[in-house]
Amino acid sequence: MAAAALAEVPWIGGVLSQVLVWLGVAAGLTFVIFVHELGHFLVAKACGVKCEKFYVGFDFFEIPIPLTPWKIPRALVKFQWGETEYGIGSLPLGGYVKMLGQDDDPTKAEAEAERTRVVQEVPGQPPQVTLDPRSYPAKSVPQRMAIISAGVVMNLIFAVLLAAAAYHLGVKEIPAVAGYVAPGSPAWQVGLVPGSKILQVGQGGRPYEHLRFEDITTALALNGFDRQIALLVRRPDGQEVWYHVEPSDRLKALTKRPTLGVTSAPSREIRLRKPPADYLDPVTTPPLQDRDRVVQIAGQPVAADWEVAALLAQHPAESLTIVVQRAAGPGQDQRPQRQPALDRLRRRHRTGRRGRRRGTRPGRERAAERVGDLRGRGRAGRTRSGQVAVRRRRGARRRVRGRVPPR
């Protein structure tokens, strides 16, 4: 009930998304501050300096809450561990490590210097005043330089580590491959076909194999509506051709930018929607699973993502037999099965034979593959159903047949 009520308020989603963005920024800055102060703290401890406080955020004063008699305390969280007090200050503008004999407040400099003085009394001699050996001023110049610069050095070390981790994980990008060309569009008029890979935009520069679809969109926006744009394209047959296309303003009211009539290639990986939508998720027997990868449609192998739309367009109003590669579970081999084995499987499915594959090595497991009849909707809105066969290779072959009743 609460979720439905929130869904009826259009601005709630925007406010929540903005709050999440600001919380993410705050968390990132807090992490940077923590790493910086951690550098000071660790080097100070290594040099034998007494650290009295370690705070992320400042705890200098209480923050009054407007129009209320309440105040936010100096520290949101704090605890004592050993000789150091750890906490999170209520003022999120930085952080600090309080060391004995070191205070950035000039008004407290004399009092802090008095705390570091140690009076030693020796019989027969006048009292001697020395610095506390665990105070910051008592350390040598190289040690104090190491303590002061440790924060920046720690930030640099973490920046290198996080950059390496981000580079290893990578970012998903959409390649500049034409997945669909709208009939009558500027790209269609010059002969651009699905599966063509755009290598270069404009005559200047040089071809780039990893051009992104986002780069094409940006180049079109900068080009404008009234000028042709040159595209170096590698066709599916491997031939590289220059196309000079004049962008269209047909979708200007919707996109606010020029378009060519080309969309990116859909992925061969099946992603089921949650909650499922009947008009978006096809019905198969047995049902598809999330992250199934399409490898064959209507008896034709799918070698690239852009071929999915082309093969589906050839059968707009009929049930389709598809083959998918199922993501293997833990300990299973994810290598795809060989095409001849799939052909024999389809023959057994058609004749109704059952059999066990001999000579299979025990212990070798392969990803399950499904040959299914994709339930599609015809132009008149009628639904057709079909059959499916499931194959698992774990030392044996099993076949299941079924039919989904029409709605």
Inform me whether the pLDDT recorded for 376 exceeds 60: no
- Tell me how far apart the alpha carbons of residues 12 and 8 are, in angstroms, rounded to a whole number: 9
Q: Is the pLDDT of residue 355 over 70?
A: no
Q: What is residue 156's predicted lDDT score, i.e. its pLDDT?
A: 96
Closest CA to 399 of 342, 336, 325, 349: 349
Q: Hey, what amino acid is at 29?
A: L
- Which uninterrupted H or E stretch holds 148? helix 141-169
Q: Provide the pLDDT confidence category of residue 405 given band limits of 50, 70 and 90.
A: very low
Which percentage of the chain shows pLDDT scores above 90? 27
DSSP 107: G
Q: What is the mean pLDDT of the segment spanning 378-389?
A: 35
The pLDDT score that the predictor gives to residue 197 is 92
What pLDDT does 42 receive? 96
The pLDDT assigned to 162 comes to 93
Q: Cβ neighbours of residue 128 under 8 Å, at least 6 residues apart?
A: 119, 120, 121, 122
Q: How confident is residue 397, by pLDDT bands cut at 50, 70 and 90?
A: very low
Indicate the pLDDT class of residue 277, thresholds 50, 70 and 90. Answer: low
What are the pLDDT digits (tens) for 295-333? 888 888 887 777 777 787 787 777 878 888 887 655 554
Query: What single DSSP character describes residue 336?
Result: P
Return the pLDDT at 299. 84
Give all domains of the chain, ordered by start, each with its CATH number. 20-169 (no CATH), 178-264 (2.30.42.10), 266-407 (no CATH)
Look at 282 and 209; give whichever has higher pLDDT: 209
- Measure the CA angle with vertex 151, ends 146 and 154; round to 5°: 100
**Whole-number pLDDT of residue 65:** 87
| pLDDT interval class at 150 (50, 70, 90) | very high
Residue 369 pLDDT > 90: no
What are 99-113's pLDDT values in tens digits? 999 888 888 888 888
**What is the Cα 239 distance to its own chain's centre?**
34
| pLDDT higher than threshold 90 for residue 337 | no
Strand partners, 53: 85, 98
Q: What is the pLDDT of residues 279-290, one digit of tens each?
A: 565 667 777 787
Q: What is the pLDDT of residues 72-102, one digit of tens each?
A: 898 999 999 999 999 999 888 889 999 999 8
Instruction: Find the range with the poorest average confidence among 94-98, 200-204, 274-278.
Output: 274-278
Confidence of residue 278 (pLDDT cuts 50, 70, 90): low
Residues 6+ apart with CB under 8 A from 52: 83, 84, 85, 98, 99, 100
By three-state DSSP, how is residue 240 classified? strand
Burial 231-243 (b: 16+ CB within 10 A, else e): bbbbeeeeeeeeb
What is the distance of C-alpha 66 from the center of its chain? 39
Give the residue with greater pLDDT, 54 vs 61: 54
- Which among 150, 176, 161, 153 has a CA at the least distance from the CA of 46? 150
Report which DSSP code applies to 59.
Answer: -
pLDDT at 30 over 80: yes
User: How large is the average pLDDT for residues 352-361?
Assistant: 40
CA distances from 235 to 192, 203, 295, 359, 380 (A): 8, 18, 22, 44, 36
Tell me what pLDDT residue 108 has.
85
Model pTM score: 0.56
Q: Cα separation of 369 and 390, whole Å?
A: 6
* Cα 77 to Cα 59, 72, 83, 197, distances in angstroms: 10, 12, 17, 56
Distances (CA, A) of 199 to 211, 216, 242, 296: 6, 10, 10, 28
* Cα→Cα distances 153→31, 98, 162, Å: 15, 19, 14
- Residues 43, 93: Cα–Cα separation, whole Å: 23
- Please state, in angstroms and rounded to a whole number, the distance separating the CA atoms of residues 98 and 87: 12
What is the pLDDT, as a whole number, of residue 341?
Answer: 34
Give every CB contact of residue 3 below 8 A, 6+ residues apart in sequence.
none
pLDDT of residue 383: 32
| pLDDT band for position 343 (cuts 50, 70, 90) | very low
For residues 160 and 152, what is the distance between their CA atoms, to the nearest angstrom?
A: 13
